[in-house]
Amino acid sequence: MNGSTTTTALLAVIQLIGFVVFAPFLAATIKRTKAGLQSRRGPGLLQPYRDLIKWWGKKPLESSASGPVARYAPAFVLGTIVTAALLVPWATSRTPLLGWGDLLVVVGLFAAARFALALAALDSGSAFGGMGSSRDVAISALAEPGLVLALAGAAIAAGSSDLGAISAFGIGQGIGLLGPAHLLAAAAFAIVVAAESGHYPVDNPDTHLELTMIHEGMLLEASGRSLATLIFASELKLAVLAAIFAAVFLPFGAATELAPLPIAFGLVAGMIKMLIVGQGLAFVDASIAKVRILELPDLLGLASLLALAGLAVQVLLP
């Protein structure tokens, strides 16, 4: 019991530090690749860290129309995403906070973060905040079923809704994991990752066109420390989504035993898998146009449909 507590604490600390250090880097590699695909050099890989440090050192400017929600929501948003980060497996197939929450809790934490951010954006008093909130909430309402359904197939196969258990089951399956059900669910989850992390074809993370903004629209009034918190939270959320994708759909490489060497190997393997997911997002960002906003339900419906098909294959053709 004592050992388990120590393990939990140690794993949690390693994973927390890992995510905090790695998340901005992941965002930087996406930017960098995108720039390369547009024949630009792009910002350096340390730029997100510099930005965060710069914003962190500045006092947030609050509009006269905003209230306490806008002030305190960023901390809540970051807190929920950090908690989610400890409920996903990275280096090992054991989540640091084992037994504290499964995939549904992770989805719920994302929803809580979004709710807080939407409230904060409404509270900022800017029309763009309200516009961004309404779009983000509408999109996530459509993306969430896909998110849950895509993971449900794997959960049914593994007999557990714990992301660590799903990952461990996947490792046990070996190459046999890559069946049609798995691939369908992976495709569904990929669309959901793009939607949830504010990437193409749903949202443009680099836009300066106010009227097309979704996630950026909600951040438009944030500044200083609040902005740093929210930007970091969104970078972290992307890393967490990539980690879930890596653990469930590409589980290979994670440690199955709690020994230093496999854990170190698992850390690096997880990082590489997340970078691959990031590169995929960057490639999509650079190669297609954004979907017209009223056609987004079709796209997200497709994600749910793919996930449902995967689930059907999983259940009917075991």
Partner 1 sequence: MSEPTTITARAIRERLAAALGHAVSVSGPGKAAARADDEMLVMVTREEFAAAVTAIRDTGARHVMLVGFDLRRPASTSGSSAARAAEARSAAAAGGAGASAAAAGGAGAEAKSAAEAASAARPGAGLAIEEVLAVPNGPIVRLRVEIPPDDRTYPSLTPLVPAAQWDERECHDLHGIVPAGHPDLRPLVIHEPDPPAAPYKSFVAHGSGVYQLPVGPIHAGVIEPGHFRFSAVGESVLYLDARLFYTHRGLERFVEGRTFAEALPIVERACGVCTVTHATVYSRAVEQLTDTEIPPRARAARVLLAEMERLYNHVGDLGNMCAGVGFNFGTSRLGWQKERLLRLNEALTGHRYLMGVVAPGGLRLDLEKRGLVGLGAAVAEIEHEVRSIVRLLVRSDSFMSRLHGTGILTRAEALRLGALGVAARASGLPDDLRRDRPADGYADIEVPQIGSATGDVAARFHVRAQEAAVSAALIKELAGSLPAGPAMVVPPGGPRSGSVALAGAEGPRGASWLWLMAGADGRIERLHLRSASYANWPVLASVVPGNLVPDFPLINKSFELCYACTDR
Count of residues engaged in binding partner 1, rule: CB under 8 A: 32
Cβ-based nearer residue to partner 1, 220 or 222: 220
- Which x/- pattern over 40-59 shows residues binding partner 1 (rule: CB under 8 A)? x-------------------
Cα–Cα distance, 29 to 1 (Å, whole number): 40
Please report how close the Cβ of residue 34 comes to partner 1 at its closest, in angstroms.
7
Whether residue 34 contacts residue 282, with contact meaning beta carbons closer than 8 Å, is answered with: yes
Selected range binding partner 1 among 156-164, 199-207, 253-261, 304-312, rule: CB under 8 A? 199-207
Within residues 93-132, the interface with partner 1 by CB under 8 A covers 127-128, 130-131
- Out of 210, 265, 283, 305, the only residue in the binding site for partner 1 (CB under 8 A) is 210
Please report how close the Cβ of residue 99 comes to partner 1 at its closest, in angstroms.
43
Please report how close the Cβ of residue 211 comes to partner 1 at its closest, in angstroms.
5
Whether residue 139 contacts residue 290, with contact meaning beta carbons closer than 8 Å, is answered with: no
Q: Is 204 helix (H, G, I), strand (E, B) or coil?
A: coil
Phi, psi (deg, nearest 5) at residue 92: -120, 170
- Out of 39, 64, 176, 317, the only residue in the binding site for partner 1 (CB under 8 A) is 39
Tokens representing 80 are 């929920």
The residues, ordered by sequence, that sit 6+ positions from 132 with a Cβ below 8 Å of its Cβ are 121, 213, 214, 215, 216, 217, 218, 219, 220
Whole-angstrom CA distances from 146 to 25, 233, 251 are 27, 22, 20
Tokens representing 272 are 């590489």
91 sits in which H/E element: none
Please report how close the Cβ of residue 157 comes to partner 1 at its closest, in angstroms.
34
Q: Is 208 helix (H, G, I), strand (E, B) or coil?
A: coil
Selected range binding partner 1 among 50-58, 146-154, 198-206, 257-265, rule: CB under 8 A? 198-206
- Out of 209, 261, 316, 317, the only residue in the binding site for partner 1 (CB under 8 A) is 209
Cβ-based nearer residue to partner 1, 209 or 316: 209
Q: How many CA atoms lie within 13 A of 52 on its CB side?
A: 20
Tokens representing 30 are 């996406």
Cα–Cα distance, 194 to 219 (Å, whole number): 18
- Taking residue 153's Cβ as centre, other Cβ atoms within 10 Å add up to 26
- Which x/- pattern over 6-35 shows residues binding partner 1 (rule: CB under 8 A)? ----------------------------x-
Selected range binding partner 1 among 54-62, 178-186, 269-277, 280-288, rule: CB under 8 A? 280-288
Cβ-based nearer residue to partner 1, 80 or 204: 204
If we measure between CA atoms, which residue out of 20, 24, 22, 31 comes closest to residue 279? Answer: 31
Within residues 287-306, the interface with partner 1 by CB under 8 A covers 287-295
- Out of 37, 112, 119, 171, the only residue in the binding site for partner 1 (CB under 8 A) is 37
Interface positions with partner 1 (CB under 8 A): 34, 37-40, 127-128, 130-131, 135, 200-201, 204, 207-213, 220, 285-295
